[in-house]
Each structure stands twice: as C-alpha cells, then as structure tokens.
Structure 1
Amino acid sequence: MTNGRYRLGIDIGGTFTDFSILDETSGELTGFKSPTIPGDPARGVLDGVRALVSERRVDPAAIAYLVHGTTIAINTVIQRNGASLGLLVTAGFGDLLEIQRLRLASPVNFTATRPLPLIPRYRVGEVTERILADGAVDTELDHAGLLREATRLVEREGAQSLVVSFVNAYRTPAHEAEARKVLAERFPGLLVTCSHEVWPQIREYERTMVAILSAYVRPRVDQYLEQLERELGRAGVRVPLYITKSNGGVTTARDARQATAETMLSGPASGVIGATAVCGRAGYRDLITFDMGGTSADIALVRDGQPVYSTDEIVGDFPIVMPVVGVSSIGAGGGSIAWLDSVGVLKVGPQSAGADPGPACYGRGATVPALSDAFLLCGFLDPDNFVGGRLRLHPDKAAMAMEPLGAALGLDVDATAEAVVEVATANMYAAFSNVLARHGLDPRDFALVAFGGAGPIEACFLAQEFHIPRVIVPPSPGTLCAQGAMMADLKSDYVKTIHRKLSTISGKLLAAECAELTARARRWLTEEAPAVATSAIAYSADLRYVGQAFQIEVPIEPAWLDELGTERMRAAFHDRHERLYAHADRGADVELIDLRATITGATPKPELKAVPVGQGPAKPAGRRVIHYRKQRYQSAVYHRRDLLAGQHLDGPAIVEQEDTTTLVPAGFRGSVDAFGNLVIEGR
C-alpha cells in the first residue's frame, strides 16, 4: 500500500481477529486475519497492527480513523468472570434476581433450571424507601439503613462495586441519585451504578439486569480499552479509538467505558451494518445476513435496507432491553467440535476448539475433530493457502482426529467428514428456522449474505435448505465485520417511560416529551463528536392494547408531533399489530408505554475502488477433487482477486481469497456484479 491516509476497522472473533483497511487516497480496500489470543486479546490486535506496518508498509501515524469491535463484555458475562457486585434494592424486593420472571427458557424440559444470578442473594441489600408508580414519594430514603447495608456488602461480603436499583426509579430517580451521593461520601472511589442512569425503563427486573450487566463487565472493559489505547499510542497510532455498539453504531472509547452494556453485541452488529451497506450499493434491500466464523454462526434480518432491531435479546442467560441489532447465534463455527452423545448420535458444537489449540488440522496438538477439519477433508480448503498462506493446514492430522469418530459411526474418514458438514448445516437450519418463523417471513423473499471465515463455504448448503434463491458473497467476506465497523455512524438510544392511555395524551405533550429526549440525544452527540456536520433523530413508541403484557414498537414520523399525532400513532399500531398477528381491535384502548429516540451522527463513508470489468466465463487457476453428499467432483479453483465484474463461473467451483473460501456447489452459477460481489444462484 502507498502511504496515504487510512481508515482501519478491527473485529475480534473467537478464533481470528479481523482487520479491514481502506486507503482513502486510492480507494483500495483490503482485509486480513490475525490469530486471536484468548488470554490477551489486546495483544492479538497489536500483532495485527504490527503486521500492517511490517508487511503492508502502513505508517501508523497515517491512520486517520480507527474503530474496533470488542467481545470483552459478552465474553465476561458468558464466562462469569466479571466484578463482584453488591445490589441495593427497595425493601421487600431482595429476591428480585432469584424470582426473575418466573419463566423457564424451555418450559417442556423437565430438567431445565433457571440461570444463576450474577449477584448471589447474600450480596443483595434491602433499603427502606418507596416511590409509587406515578412517581410520588411514599417513603423517604433511610440513609442509616442504606449505609448499614452498603457497609455489609462492601466490608463483609467483598463487593467491589454497588448497583442501586429502586422500584419505580424510572419514573422518579431522586432516591437513586440521593443514594449515590450518600455512598460517595462514605465510600469515596467506589463505583456506584444507578439503574436510572443506565436505562430508565419500566420493568424492575429488566432495568436492574441492564444496570448489573453494565457494572459487571465495566472493570474488564475499562482495563482492556485502557491497555489497548496505551499500546496503540506506543505503536505510533495518533487518532482516538472508537468502539462499535450493539445498536450498530459507534462511540468513543471514553463513552464505551461508561456505557459498557451498550457494547455487549458490538461485533455481530458490525457485520450486519457492513452487509447492509455493501449489498445496498448493489440494490439488495431485503437480506438474511449469515456470519459464520470460527466459534459461532450469526443470523440477522435486513428489511427494506434497514437492519431489524430488537429490545428483548438474551446475553449470557440474561435479558438486555436496550435496542440492539437483532442477531441470533448458534454454536456452529469452523472450530466447533464434532462428538457423539450418550446414545451415539453425531453432534457438532457448541463446544469450540477456539484459536488455541484450534482444530486438529492446525497442527497445534488438538486430537478431536472440528468442522474445519471436515471442510479440509472434503477438499473445500487448500492446506497451503489458508489465510493467505500464513497458516498451513495438516490433512493427515485432520484425518487422524476424524478416524475414531468414523469408527464409532461405522464410516470411513471421508464419509465422516461429509456427515459432520451435514449435521452442522442441519443445526443451523433448525435454529434459524425459528428466527424466520418468529418474524413471519418467507426466506424465498430474501437474499442470503454470506460472510465470516466459514460462511461462504456453508452458504449454498443453507440456501438450498431454505429455498433462498440468491447468495451474495461480498468482496471481503472474511473481514466484513471489521469493514462494517468503518461504515457505522455515531449512534445513541434514549427511552422514557410514559405508561398512559393514548387517549389521554395531547399532541402538545407528545411533542414536549420528544423534545426532552432530543435534548439528551443532542447533548451526547455534542460531547462525543462536536465536529459532526450531519445528524438525524428518529422517534418510536412502544404501544399495546390495554390489558396486554408486552408491547410493539411503532416508528413515529416527525410530522406526527402535532395535535393529530396520537391518532396517527394509534392507526399505525393497529396496522402493525394486524401484520404481526393477523388481528387488530381498532376500537380498543391503546396504551403508550415508552417513547424512544435514536440520534445518528454521520461518519465519512468509504469511497471504494471501482471493480475492473471483464467478459465471459472466468478462467480457473487450477482444479482439485472435492466431495460432499456422497458425490465426488473435479472442481475448478478460482482466485477471487482475478474475478472481474461481468464474469461468471459454474459450480462445482472453489473461490479462494486471503480472508475466506467460497464453495459454489454443482447446480449453482456465480457471477460478479459491478460492485465486486459474487452473486450465486441456482441454475
């Protein structure tokens, strides 16, 4: 690369850390992978930055923009190695975390158990105070009782920080704010997290859990970001670090340290943003995104050019009600281990070989087979050209690991490898069918966007199962999450609980409440990015029929903030309810539960280099034998860098590039569009 101004996106996965770098002078976009170091992910990032300097001759001082997707927060929750917390709640609510929502994730499973709380019951303290549902103060805060319980939690039970979550604090936060002040005087330097400051929304358990998750991961996130910023500075990087968020936006590292709960799903969200942007340029607006890496496979939906968001995702057994890109995951990646259950049925995942030791074919001592071993034995991967030749694969070690599994199944090594691929595909089909059914969508109306290190290998198999007519493989699929991070805008979400019948709310009141959210949003953007020239605010409302337990989010047009606004909201709610459930009671009372606002500050978008145009069939670089579904084929092998816009290729074919490998099975044809996407369709 020539020495120009660069934009760098980084995304940490369970097996590899992905880098996407744009030369703003030439418009050249490239990506590469560096092994993730599980015990020290910052070192994996720095190793990649050093590779940029040594192998690609990039001056770190010439990096103009640096954004990073991190898995530190979600891994901390999943591994349960976060801070030791104490929780202070309203008297009578000490069992809040034990009771949860009185629901089991699988009610028909007789062995199901509820998730163990992140804070044990002995580190929960009850404090005398009470705010009523309308916000009125019923019982004043007992300072002596507050200090007594806080002292017990900190000095006797070893709490490293405290979470304060009082009943109805979303309506009137005065007691939580008062508690913070009292605790700061008694325990200077102790981190205190108040629920109303993190996410002031109705529902005690969910609001409390968001505050707990934020405090639980904060020390590890703070330590990681501080270390990374320090080491990047020593490496010569001079720009501030930006972090991707679960809502598909980005924020400063400083803000991410404060709002740690907003980074829980930052990596997967970036991939969806990248897929939306790349495919949107080519005119594809209804997408199923399929991100399969070394550890997991993620699916998300894009409707009419916009990612589908969710406010009821689960992170490590716990609800997070903040808006996030709706990503559903399954433990099926290239590192997923193949094994037999107690009755001899073949399973793949969710256990993963990770980056160390990795699959057996990595040659690092693993002796159990993984999905990547099956890919290699089926001929899909070139052992001498994996991740650009930086990691040589060992077919003999993959075969040795696969052999005992095959012996137990009564199959030879090749048939066992095919079976492992089939089971992994079936797992993903079963899991992702539920997602599509929940949204009431027909997959035939969508294109499947395949990315991640393993996604383009599996994509056509999955498309066949769902009868999806088209698979799109972006130009840099293996590093699309890192590329998506570069394309994301600054973004922040705000909520205010109203909880009133819509018929009692005037247009003037609606406009005033939206104006309050707007002021908070613009204050955040001014503090985080004062130089942003273009911004926009979108509003929405959570509505339900009186008597319903849960609500539907309905967008609010800015033009609705007038005297007729509530009637327009009512009509929009009825329409959306009918689309979702084939029913609407247009004469029934409707409640407005929450108002939401999302502010977006536009970041510069990459101007990518044009793809050269070619004609006719692409020329293969070689051939090799592949096999799947009990058939063997002589497959053409293509180099992705040689494919030109307008060219086509017929399956069976393998398309290799530095960051991934794409499989075009027999019966499919691939063509390169004007934007460099490989579009695969059945013949």
Structure 2
Amino acid sequence: MIVIGVDTGGTFTDFVYFDGSERRIFKVLSTPENPAEAVLAGLNVVAEDKRKDIVHGSTVATNAILERKGAKTALITNRGFEDIIEIGRQNRERIYDLKYRKPASVIPSNLRFGIDCRILSDGKILKELDLREIRDVVDKLKRERVESVAVCFLFSFVNPSHELSVKEILTGEDFHSSLSHQILPEFREYERTSTTVLNAYVAPIMKRYITYFMENLGSGDRLRIMQSNGGSISADTAARESIRTILSGPAGGVIGAYEVAKAAGFEKIITFDMGGTSTDVSLVNRDVSLTTESKIGGFPVKVPMIDIHTVGAGGGSIAYVDRGGSLKVGPRSAGASPGPICYGRSGKEITVTDANLFLGRLIAEHFLGGKMKLHRDILNGYFAEMARQLSMDPVSLAQGILSVANSTMEKAIRVISVERGENPEEFALVAFGGAGGLHAPFLANNLSISTVLIPENPGTLSALGMLVADIVKDYSQTVMMRGADSTVREISLILKELEKKGMQDMIGEGIDAGNVVFEYYLDMRYLGQSHEIMVPYGKDYIERFHDYHKRFFGYRKEGHEVEIVNVRLRCKGRTGKFVFEPEEIKRKKIVRDAHIGKRDVFFDDETAIETSIIDRERLAYGNVVEGPAIIVEYTSTTIVPPGWVCEVDACKNLVISQF
C-alpha cells in the first residue's frame, strides 16, 4: 500500500507519497470548478494500480461558505430564537467603516422555524416538544425543496432529547440534519447555532464530493480527510461533520512545519505558508496552538482549530493602483486560471509572482523543475504602463509590489506574536509553500528574526503534514464549576465518560486501543469574566490558568476565584508517522555541478547584483551557501539575500541566517 497526502490549493494540488522506502512529491494545476478532478488525475500518476491510503486536505467546505454555494438549508430552534443567527452578539466587526454591512445569513428568514418547546439549564423539560408541529414544518421544508436542516434547541447539550426526536422525523423524510448537541455540545447559543448552521449548509456538498471521490477510487483504497484541528478523520465522519474541515489545508502546513522543526531541534517557531492565493501564519511555542474563536465568512465557528491567521497575500495576489493613486496588492488573486501574466495564459493583471520574475528573483527555466514555462519577456509592457501611472520606473514598481505584499504578511506575523505577548525575535521562521522562500528572509529582517528554516520540498509541506497527521477527535462538555479541590473528582468522572466515547470512535476509525492517546483541557476564566482561556489539565491547573492569563493579557489575579466553563478531551489515534531520519555524514564543500549559473538580480537597490543559482537537489548536509544566491528546486525557490548565509542541516533543511 502507498500512503499519500494530498493538499488542494488555489493554484496547485500537491501530492506527497511514501511507499515504505522512499518519499516522493508531485504537483498538478488545481481544477477549481471540480477540485476532485486534479486530485484523481494526480493519484493516477503517482499510485497507478497500487492500493492507496489517502489523507486529503479539502477546500470544498471552505469554498461553499465563502462563495455562498452551500445546500439550501433551514433552521429549527426554539420559538423566539429564530433570528439569533441574524442578531448575533450585536457587535460591529469594523467599527470605523461607515459603509459596513453584516454578511447576510446563509439561511433566509422564511426558512427559520421556531418551535414552542423548552428545556431548562439543568436539563429538565419545561415544555414538551409537539411532534405535530415538527411534521407541519417538514411539510413546509418539502415545499421549499430544502436539502439540509440545522436543529439547535436551548440547553440541548444538557438534554438532547428534543433534538433527537426532530432528527428521527427528518431522517425518515430523507433530509440531511445537523444537531447542535453533536456538532458543538457547549453553551452560548449564538455560536452553537452558527456552527451547526454552517455544518448543515456545507455537509451535503461535502458528502457529494466524497461520494464522487470514493466512486473513482479502487475497492481497497482508503480515504481520510484532514481537519482544522491538525488531525484526520474518516471520510464518513467528514461528510457528517464537514465544518471540522474548513481550514484543513493550512492545518496540514502547521503540522508539517511542527514535525520538521522538531526533528531539526527547533521548539519555538512561526510557520509561514505562502501559496498562490493567500498566506497562513501560526505560532508554535513547543506545541501547536488551538483556538475555538475562529470565524469564516464573518460567522463564528467554535469547533477546535489550529490557531492560524490568514491574509490575502500570495504569489497570485494582484497589484493595482487604487482611486487615490496608491499602489495596492491583494487580496484579489489571479488563481490558477488565468494565473499571473508570466504563465502565458491570457492573464492581464500584474501579480507578486510577476514582480519576483521581473526582478530576477524567480528563475523561469527552473520553475517547477523546468516543467512549466514562465514568460519574462511579456512582462515589460505591463510593468512600464503601471509604472507610468505611479510616476516611477518599472524596477521600483516591482520592488514596491513586493514591499507592499511583505508588509501585509509582516502585519499577520505581528498579530499572532506581538499582539499575544510573544516576541518574534525568540522564534525561528519556518517558511514553506510555493512562494515562502522568496519572501521569508526579508520578513525575518523586518521582524528581527535571526533564523529562517526552509524544509525540504517546501512547496508540498502541507501535503506532508497530512501524511504524518494523527487521527484526532475533539470532545467537550459545558460544566460551569468553581475551581476548587472538590471539582477534581467531578472533572475526572466527566473525562472518563468522554474517554469512553473517544475510544469507541477511534476503534470505529480503525485505530487499535494501544495507539490511542488522550489529552485533557479546561476552558477557564476568572469569576465575572465573559470569555475563557483553554488550559492543559493537570494537578496544577489553577496555577497554569494564572500563568496563561498573564501571558495573554499581562496580569494575574492571585486569590481571585476561578471558574471552569468547559471540559475538553482531545483523542489522538497514532497512525505510524513517517520518520525524519537525519543524515550522518557532514560535507562542507559543495559539489561543482550544484552551481548551475549566475543571474543579475535586483534586491533592495536599483542596481542588479550578480547572483549565484544553486540546485538544491545537489546540496548535502553541511554545505554552506553565502548570499546573494538563489536556490532552485521543483516545488519552490529560496532567496539568500546579500549579507545572509545558508547552511544545510542534517534533515536537509536550509537554515538561513544573517552574517
């Protein structure tokens, strides 16, 4: 059997596959109109007739939400709460935007149904559910040709009986249903409803995608889907709980970077994934950071996800002159089709990739190992025209485009570090994605980061992360306890119940009991606060909470009463990871044929500098490359600017630092 990680990006679909002896990579252009086509085409190339164990990072659920192309969905909730997804928390996302408009709900008001029933906070039934009322609603759903239904009753996470009764009727009528006590069994009805609604909205789309995918695989093949929490789940689970997959691609990148950096001896890293459409950054302080405060399309999604910040700056980001005469870059992207101008596919708008090629930083004949042609000659007219609009020369324009893009990405890194009490100077910058190595040294310089690490095959690291990811499932229960010794026994009892469910689900996923690992967390706050911090659970959990609070907010309240809001269990099924084996023989001298040419390249000045072109495949452990140099490989290009030096470590990473 061949194990394959597949990451679908906006421009390329990446494959990393391992047959038990050798790890290989492959890339094809994405097919945005049907992402499965590119994946299946690539699988036919890399696996041929072999049995396949596939872990796939899918953008299907994400795109359905962002493009508003989900299933026709209805909401069933308590009477009086039909408009909760419209009202929200009554906060204004962009407080200084005078023209701001809230995103319209994915469920129109005529498809929100209030039922006259009520369960109290302790689980007691105040008013019983009338099934005749539900059947009347079902008749309306049929007339409206609704495909999927979100069911969210108050306090269903304490007593789910009403939601289960509704599900029984909906299932009998062939509707897809999402129940809030299964998707998010926690308090805060707005976030629970929003998360459940989005799951209902995308699940039928995801199910059709997975069904089509499976129909085109062999009978012995297995498909798992990457989740936003950094683990994978079975295709069946992903079809039911699709909301857990919305950041699967970026999550794969963080897991890949974490594993590579750990093998290379780096515990504190900032991951920097720059692709064709966007850039994703995340901070790892000895372990991957999780959050339950994410949003997509303007709607809260409270399932656990890796804490990733995304900005609209990538290789395909389009440069333009705004109405005020200023140069702007992104978030609009040229994507895979037509792509940057230099692709020669009728693209007419200058992109970040075009600017890198124009300055000589991207080597046309070595792009994708020479398998894809870039056209430097057709850029001159486009750059001359935009430079004329801005009263500058074309070289300064190209440098300006990269500076604007770098500024956007630098700001993103500050959001996840400085704004959260972390000093970026204490971290290494792990750069990957097709464009990461072109920009990372310049970002590191601006942020005073001393070390940049470029993994082997950086353009496919997200797919590698999927290949090495464990199967992970998250469970939670709202408890509302005061943090005292008497609560420890109660927490232990709750965790044991969650462990039983976790073990049962892991066995269902095909994992042996001996390969299951449990991690425990508490959502905690000071009494009187309205938001929580997720803290690892242990004997000193109260002291840990004080430490975490000081780290995030700058102060701690010794002696102040602490409240436990949610108990969380993270259940990991070990899948037998690919092992990163370090080289043993260190070689200082670079082989002669690693130098494959020289090129005049523009860096920060208006004068081009003669720059060495190095073939990364011919570099070995211990090799040192002094800047200026450009290191080319199949999946990416890495710049070593003047004043910087690059050394190949034992894990074949490029470690770049300033003299």
Name the TM-score, length of structure 1 as normaliser: 0.93
Cα 1:602–1:530 shift into 2, 3 Å: closer
* 1:387 to 2:368 alignment: yes
* 1:242 to 2:215 alignment: no
| Contact 1:125/1:150 (8 A) holds in 2 | no
Aligned with 2:14 (options 14, 18, 42): 18
Amino acid corresponding to residue 10 of structure 2 in structure 1:
G
Aligned with 1:645 (options 611, 617, 621): 621
* 1:487 to 2:447 alignment: no
- Select between 386-395 and 284-293 the one with higher mean Cα deviation: 386-395
Cα 1:254–1:653 shift into 2, 3 Å: same
Aligned with 1:164 (options 143, 151, 156): 151
Q: Structure 1, residues 254-291: CA drift from partner, whole Å, max 9, x if none?
A: 22111211111111001100001111011101000000
1:97 is paired with a residue of what secondary structure?
Answer: helix
Aligned with 2:99 (options 108, 111, 119): 111
Aligned with 2:603 (options 617, 620, 628): 628
1:307 is paired with a residue of what secondary structure?
Answer: coil
2:217 is paired with a residue of what secondary structure?
Answer: helix
| Alignment match, 1:192 | 177
* 1:272 to 2:272 alignment: no
Amino acid corresponding to residue 591 of structure 1 in structure 2:
E
What pairs with 1:571-650 in structure 2 (closer than 5 Å)? 571-608=543-580, 611=583, 613-616=586-589, 619=592, 620-630=595-605, 631-650=607-626
| Contact 2:269/2:285 (8 A) holds in 1 | yes
| Alignment match, 1:209 | 194
Amino acid corresponding to residue 437 of structure 2 in structure 1:
P
What pairs with 1:494-533 in structure 2 (closer than 5 Å)? 494-503=475-484, 505-531=486-512, 533=514
Q: Structure 1, residues 313-353: CA drift from partner, whole Å, max 9, x if none?
A: 11221111111111110011111110111101111100000
C-alpha deviation, 1:532, in angstroms: 6.0
| Alignment match, 1:130 | 118
1:18 is paired with a residue of what secondary structure?
Answer: strand
Amino acid corresponding to residue 177 of structure 1 in structure 2:
L
* 1:569 to 2:556 alignment: no
Aligned with 1:313 (options 286, 289, 294): 294
- Select between 594-603 and 131-140 the one with higher mean Cα deviation: 131-140
| Contact 2:429/2:444 (8 A) holds in 1 | yes
Q: Structure 1, residues 90-139: CA drift from partner, whole Å, max 9, x if none?
A: 01112101101111222222222222111111211111011112222111
Aligned with 2:27 (options 30, 33, 41): 33
Alpha-carbon RMSD? 1.7
C-alpha deviation, 1:666, in angstroms: 0.6
Counterpart CA distance in 1 for 2:113 and 2:591 is 69
| Contact 2:151/2:178 (8 A) holds in 1 | yes
Amino acid corresponding to residue 146 of structure 2 in structure 1:
A
| Contact 1:245/1:264 (8 A) holds in 2 | yes
Cα 1:438–1:133 shift into 2, 3 Å: farther
Amino acid corresponding to residue 223 of structure 1 in structure 2:
R
* 1:538 to 2:534 alignment: no
Cα 1:618–1:580 shift into 2, 3 Å: farther
* 1:92 to 2:80 alignment: yes
Counterpart CA distance in 2 for 1:70 and 1:361 is 28
Counterpart CA distance in 2 for 1:499 and 1:483 is 40
Amino acid corresponding to residue 49 of structure 1 in structure 2:
L
Counterpart CA distance in 2 for 1:506 and 1:290 is 41
2:15 is paired with a residue of what secondary structure?
Answer: strand
Counterpart CA distance in 2 for 1:137 and 1:322 is 27
What pairs with 1:67-466 in structure 2 (closer than 5 Å)? 67-152=55-140, 154-185=141-172, 188-233=173-218, 238-304=220-286, 306-466=287-447
Q: Aligned residues, how many?
A: 655
C-alpha deviation, 1:448, in angstroms: 0.1
C-alpha deviation, 1:22, in angstroms: 2.2
Counterpart CA distance in 1 for 2:301 and 2:646 is 40
C-alpha deviation, 1:580, in angstroms: 2.4
* 1:61 to 2:50 alignment: yes
Q: Structure 1, residues 161-181: CA drift from partner, whole Å, max 9, x if none?
A: 211101111121111112222
C-alpha deviation, 1:206, in angstroms: 0.7
| Contact 2:511/2:574 (8 A) holds in 1 | no
Name the TM-score, length of structure 2 as normaliser: 0.96
Counterpart CA distance in 2 for 1:168 and 1:603 is 36
Cα 1:294–1:134 shift into 2, 3 Å: same
- Select between 285-294 and 573-582 the one with higher mean Cα deviation: 573-582
Counterpart CA distance in 2 for 1:44 and 1:486 is 18
C-alpha deviation, 1:547, in angstroms: 1.2
| Contact 2:280/2:310 (8 A) holds in 1 | yes
Counterpart CA distance in 1 for 2:283 and 2:146 is 40
Cα 1:655–1:193 shift into 2, 3 Å: same
Counterpart CA distance in 1 for 2:216 and 2:168 is 35
* 1:8 to 2:1 alignment: no
| Contact 1:270/1:485 (8 A) holds in 2 | yes
Amino acid corresponding to residue 406 of structure 1 in structure 2:
A
2:236 is paired with a residue of what secondary structure?
Answer: helix
1:119 is paired with a residue of what secondary structure?
Answer: coil
Cα 1:412–1:501 shift into 2, 3 Å: same
Counterpart CA distance in 1 for 2:72 and 2:385 is 43
| Contact 1:29/1:608 (8 A) holds in 2 | no
Amino acid corresponding to residue 566 of structure 2 in structure 1:
D
Q: Which runs of 4+ in 1 moved over 3 A?
A: 155-158, 182-185, 503-506, 530-533, 607-613, 616-619
- Select between 404-413 and 441-450 the one with higher mean Cα deviation: 404-413
Counterpart CA distance in 1 for 2:362 and 2:220 is 39
Amino acid corresponding to residue 254 of structure 2 in structure 1:
V
Counterpart CA distance in 2 for 1:542 and 1:664 is 44
| Contact 2:590/2:619 (8 A) holds in 1 | no
C-alpha deviation, 1:413, in angstroms: 2.3
Cα 1:274–1:530 shift into 2, 3 Å: closer
Counterpart CA distance in 1 for 2:516 and 2:485 is 32
1:637 is paired with a residue of what secondary structure?
Answer: strand
Counterpart CA distance in 1 for 2:275 and 2:554 is 37
Cα 1:512–1:347 shift into 2, 3 Å: same
Counterpart CA distance in 2 for 1:589 and 1:551 is 14
Cα 1:182–1:6 shift into 2, 3 Å: closer
| Contact 2:603/2:641 (8 A) holds in 1 | no
C-alpha deviation, 1:505, in angstroms: 4.6
| Contact 1:546/1:591 (8 A) holds in 2 | yes
- Stretches of structure 1 that go unaligned for 5 or more consecutive residues are 53-57, 561-567
Counterpart CA distance in 2 for 1:137 and 1:7 is 50
| Contact 2:627/2:645 (8 A) holds in 1 | yes
Q: Structure 1, residues 55-107: CA drift from partner, whole Å, max 9, x if none?
A: xxx543154x3211111111111111001101011011121011011112222
| Contact 1:273/1:484 (8 A) holds in 2 | yes
| Contact 1:30/1:476 (8 A) holds in 2 | no
- Stretches of structure 2 that go unaligned for 5 or more consecutive residues are none
1:243 is paired with a residue of what secondary structure?
Answer: strand
C-alpha deviation, 1:608, in angstroms: 4.6
| Contact 1:533/1:602 (8 A) holds in 2 | no
| Contact 2:503/2:513 (8 A) holds in 1 | no
* 1:51 to 2:29 alignment: no
C-alpha deviation, 1:398, in angstroms: 2.5
- Select between 504-513 and 255-264 the one with higher mean Cα deviation: 504-513
Cα 1:178–1:383 shift into 2, 3 Å: same
Amino acid corresponding to residue 593 of structure 1 in structure 2:
V
